[in-house]
Amino acid sequence: MTTKARGSDLGWVASQLADPKVRLEFDRERASEEFVDQLDAALQSGGISRATLAGTLGRSRAFITQTLRRRANLTIKTMAELAGACGYELHIALLPRGAGTGPVWSEPQSQWSVVRCEPRQPMPSAYVLDDTLLCCPMAIEGVPIGQHSNPWSFETSCQLDLH
Amino acid sequence: MGQLPPSDTLSAPVQVGLARTIVAYRDESGAVPALDFLDGCDAKTKARYILKFTKMCDFGRLRGEDYHLLDAKKGVKEADGLSEFKDIASKSRILAMNDGKRARLVLLHGFGGKKEDRIKPQEILIADRRRQDYLSRSEREISQSNYGRQT
């Protein structure tokens, strides 16, 4: 038993992510999951059936099912094909690695309002969909944001206040 | 983001997000069986569970193939109110319960070697026994703290 993690308030997830081996596997799994979640959301929002997607790509339905169940080992070429068949482009972004898990995207990013916290954070710091803060990878000190059309502001706890 | 609850006699913290908090049941001897099971898993399996826990905490839900409520009608009645995190690749499961009073999802029991969908009744009974223990000790703590406040 890892008494340190059990006895402390660090949390099991944070204690595991401190292990470079687990961290690397987590980064891989998250990237794969993010792609499949976004693909799934793109299929649903576009009203595209798995059969149609398979037909467009000249692949079997089983392949699409395996992909959406995260059982296929996808290459960048295949991911670009799958995204393209749903009307999307594949982009790969590098985000600075923090101590936590980082954001986990579940929707195609074109549907997100990305709120920047400048000048303290150069990267997107929170992700908003339908006026709901979905994911905030790090604590931010209150800075009024200009990019979003609504007058959002941040609190340090990442609660979003609408004025 | 919320704060992880402190480690206490009932549970050990696992992960916290905007939507949910996950802890793991701690028995009276101080052991945390669900985390002991997870610690014995390989790095890939741990990574997949970390992802499931993170998504559950951030979004409050997961796909049905990753997390769902057990159906008591299909098996033993003790399954009522239990849910499971499912990892198909490692054929493992983590059974959990919702602690509404403390607004937490509590991991109770982890086990591997699951090829088919149906869970062995023994595994459900283990989880249920831990749930009953957690609830009774939780009630005791709440009533003791209320009593302390009154006096």
Phi, psi of A117 (to 5 degrees): -115, 95
CB-based contact, B21 to chain A, within 8 Å: no
**Predicted pLDDT of residue A145:** 35
Share of chain B above pLDDT 90, in %: 56
Output helix, strand, coil percentages for chain A, rounded to the nearest 5: 40, 10, 45
Q: What is the pLDDT of residues B53-69, one digit of tens each?
A: 998 988 888 888 899 99
Of B70, B87, B88, residue with least CA distance to B79: B70
Residues 6+ apart with CB under 8 A from A59: none
Select the residue of A6, A7, A30 nearest B51 (Cβ to Cβ): A30
Judge whether B36 is closer than 8 Å to chain A, CB to CB.
yes
Helix H or strand E encompassing A113: strand A113-116
Q: Is A29 on the interface with B (CB under 8 A)?
A: yes
The DSSP annotation for B5-55 comes to PPP-SSEEEEEE-SS-EEEEE--TTS--HHHHHHHTS-HHHHHHHHHHHHH
Report phi then psi at B148, rounded to 5.
-60, -35
Q: What is the pLDDT of residues A64-117, one digit of tens each?
A: 998 988 777 889 999 999 999 999 989 887 777 776 777 676 766 555 444 433
Which residues fall within 8 angstroms of residue A13, CB to CB, at 6 or more apart?
A101, B14, B15, B50, B53, B54
pLDDT at site A8 = 57
Structure tokens belonging to residue A76: 């960048």
- Torsion angle in degrees (nearest 10) through CA of B123, B124, B130, B135: 170
Question: For residues A42 and A49, is the Cβ–Cβ distance under 8 A?
Answer: no
| Closest by Cα among B75, B88, B132 to B109 | B132
Count of residues making up chain B:
151
Q: Bigger pLDDT: B16 or A106?
A: B16
Establish if A1 touches chain B: CB-CB under 8 angstroms: yes
pLDDT value, residue B139: 87
Bridging pattern class, strands B104-111 and A132-135:
unpaired
Q: Determine the pLDDT at residue A13.
A: 94
**pLDDT per residue as tens digits for the range B72-120:** 777 788 889 999 999 988 999 999 999 988 889 999 999 997 666 778 8
Average pLDDT over chain B, rounded to an integer:
88
Kindly determine whether residue A135 and residue B14, on different chains, have CB atoms separated by under 8 Å: no
pLDDT in the model for residue B5: 80
Separation of alpha carbons A113 and A133, rounded Å? 10
- Hey, are the CB atoms on B18 and A134 less than 8 Å from each other? yes
Q: Which amino acid is at B125?
A: L
**pLDDT tens digits, residue range A3-40?**
444 645 679 999 999 999 999 999 999 999 889 988 99
* Residues A62-74: tens digit of each pLDDT: 999 989 887 778 8
Tokens of A124: 């997107």
Which region among B1-10, B121-130, B131-140, B142-151 has the lowest average model confidence (pLDDT)? B142-151
User: Which percentage of chain A shows pLDDT scores above 90?
Assistant: 34
Inter-chain contact B15–A11, Cβ cutoff 8 Å? yes
Q: Using CA atoms, how far apart are residues B86 and B68, in angstroms rounded to an integer?
A: 8
